[in-house]
Amino acid sequence: MKIVVLVGGLSPERDVSIASGTLISNALIEKGHDVLLLDLYLGIHNRTFSPVYTNNKSDYRFSYSVPEHEPDLESIKNSVNNKSSLIGEGVIELCKEADIVFLALHGSIGENGQLQAVLELNGIRYTGTNYIGSLLAMDKDLSKKIIRANNILTPDWKYICLNKEYTLDGISYPCVVKPCSCGSSVGVNIVGNGNQLKNAIELAKKYEDAILIEDKVEGREFSVGILNNTALPVIEIKPLSGFYDYKNKYQVGLTQEICPANISEDISNLLKEKALAVHDTLRLGFYSRIDFILDKHNNAFCLEANTLPGMTPTSLLPQEAKAIGISYNDLCERIVLER
């Protein structure tokens, strides 16, 4: 198959996306597919697929490591001539030539449904969740309202829009401040008082004007991957220090990940059941990942749903698949073939 692997984009998570996409590309090359690794924002001048793809006859393999901090998006914008479009030159044309597009994007238009809608309007096949499910999952305020309406626990929260009048009355501490539509813990802070709250809001404001202030539920953190309507083994996430922030997620050795998690069968089944319920409620696609906090009373609180889970060396979904004998290469090809 001819496969475009779309990465990057103008997103705070572009480095994570590129790291995911390089490994996905390598896996698909090793499976014998013709692969083009393409940055959504930067694009490419050559609009013909054949001269630029990498196939299984090549010895070349892609490589990329996630830096400790998010990228400088302003410098990336300044490096290209056409700053007005979030889709780079030649991207749509090359995607039309491919048999399928593997979406290895995180955040921004790659995960909020906008790109999915563009691809569908152009008759382009792609992996992951469609534009409706992507929109529902990416907006944390909206997704929390939907899953709570379907009797799934989620921490209490307050939604504020910074370009409108708002108050901070009724906030309890500790709480978690996060941008409404970012992933990878970008812009997330745990705060314990009013001064810290104001500072955390200013940090989150760097990414967007819509902010969530969420009650911090104390407990153990777990994640459950979904593959083809089946819950994968539960994985427990234990950062060696602090919380599961951007650095702890993507720098090797900073977080202990245990899969299968050391929990009872009853708790495992509970988390899997809730993960499937979230997946179905938000109308997600062939694969996803659902994150939870389990409190001391064994109540499972859903934190968020991920429509395009990370596929980096430290990412959770590949570890969960490996636990039931699905190799990384096989996982990537299944996503392409079965979608």
- Which residues sit in the known binding site for Mg(2+)? 291, 304, 306
Strands 210-215 and 175-179: antiparallel
CA atoms within 13 A on the CB side of 260: 14
Look up residue 289 and give its two tokens.
């990942």
Among residues 20, 315, 320, 333, which one is catalytic?
315
Q: Is 17 a catalytic residue?
A: no
Cβ pair 36, 5 in contact under 8 A: yes
Cβ pair 150, 277 in contact under 8 A: yes
Among residues 13, 70, 111, 333, which one is catalytic?
13
Q: Which residues contact 49 (CB under 8 A, 6 or more apart)?
A: 2, 4, 36, 94, 97, 98
Cβ pair 261, 219 in contact under 8 A: no
Q: Distance between CA 268 and CA 231 in Å, rounded? A: 10
DSSP string, 134-181: HHHHHSHHHHHHHHHHTT-----EEEEETTS----TT--SSEEEEETT
**Given phi > 0 = left and psi -120 to 50 = alpha, else beta, which region is 275?**
alpha
Among residues 184, 185, 223, 288, which one is catalytic?
184
Q: Is 315 a catalytic residue?
A: yes
Q: Which residues contact 261 (CB under 8 A, 6 or more apart)?
A: 222, 233, 234, 235, 236, 268
**Residue among 197, 279, 269, 206 at smallest CA distance from 233:** 269
**Given phi > 0 = left and psi -120 to 50 = alpha, else beta, which region is 100?**
beta
**Residue among 55, 73, 61 at smallest CA distance from 207:** 73
Q: Is 13 a catalytic residue?
A: yes
Q: Distance between CA 110 and CA 131 in Å, rounded? A: 10
Helices (H) and strands (E) in the chain, counts: 11, 13
Q: Which residues are annotated as a binding site?
A: 291, 304, 306
Active-site residue list: 13, 184, 315
